[in-house]
Amino acid sequence: MATEEPASEHALRASRTYGAAADHYRRAALSFWDRFGAATVSRLRLAPGGTVLDLCCGAGASALRAADEGLANVELRHGDATRTGLPGGGFDAVVCVFGVFFAPDMAAFVREMWRLTGPGGVLAVTTWGPGLFEPANSLFWRCVGEEEPALYKAFNPWDEITTPAALAGLFSRAGVPDPAVAAAAGQHRLDHPDQFWDVVLGSGYRATVDALGPERRDRVRESLLADLRSREITSLRTDVVFGTAVRPG
């Protein structure tokens, strides 16, 4: 997915964040990546031999699940997902799970994904719902704000599109007709409150804690975990919104 144009600073920041977070993707506390990747692919009704493009793929939760559904020849590429340079209409399914909100122009990104979806193919975009990782989320941002006010919610693009109406509106602005959009409530269980720090290091929060530097990061960690332990928090809100659209054949 090479491109002659340099990636935007927005894209570079997201790339740096999730590149750093990759060392935690397989931790038990982050099993939601695989779970929601699988839930997205299950909505595609894939046929053996089909071609699937998984954009913003992370550790490949969606792509690998697609392979489990009977697809083979998985190929991984590094590039700008918003400007793939791939030929139009070349895929039976185009999937983006928890990635669309990192694009500075989300409508343009969805429009590009729709361009890549072939006749009879399916576009699937999954976003987080409201209140992600609550109640731990609010405690995290409070601890960050006490340590460095300038970093308080300075990087949380996943909160920009959290409802079925918002996702349906995004499809509409991108020129994608008749999307099927559905919200699903969820809870994610942790074995111990301390496991939330694995979530911090293996998600978009990573940009914030890395910006703190070692000493302030350690203070935020100590304060946050003490709060989580005192409240015995082991359940996190993980609502999601699924959106799919079929391109006419």
Asked if the model's pLDDT at residue 109 lies above 90, the reply is yes
| Residue 54 near residue 95 (C-beta atoms within 8 A) | yes
Beta-bridged to residue 117, according to DSSP, are 91
Looking at residue 223, its pLDDT comes to 98
pLDDT in tens, 164-213: 999 999 999 999 999 999 999 999 999 999 999 999 999 999 999 999 99
The residue assigned the tokens 């491109």 is: 3
Higher pLDDT: 34 or 16? It is 34
Q: Are 80 and 1 in contact (CB under 8 A)?
A: yes
Question: Which pTM does this prediction carry?
Answer: 0.87
Q: What is the mean pLDDT of the chain?
A: 88
Res. 81 pLDDT band, cuts 50 70 90: confident
Query: Could you give the CA distance from residue 202 to residue 156 in angstroms, rounded to a whole number?
Result: 14
pLDDT tens per residue across span 48-61: 888 899 998 765 54
Query: Three-state SS across 186-238?
Result: CEEECCCHHHHHHHHHCCCCHHHHHHHCHHHHHHHHHHHHHHHHHCCCCEEEC
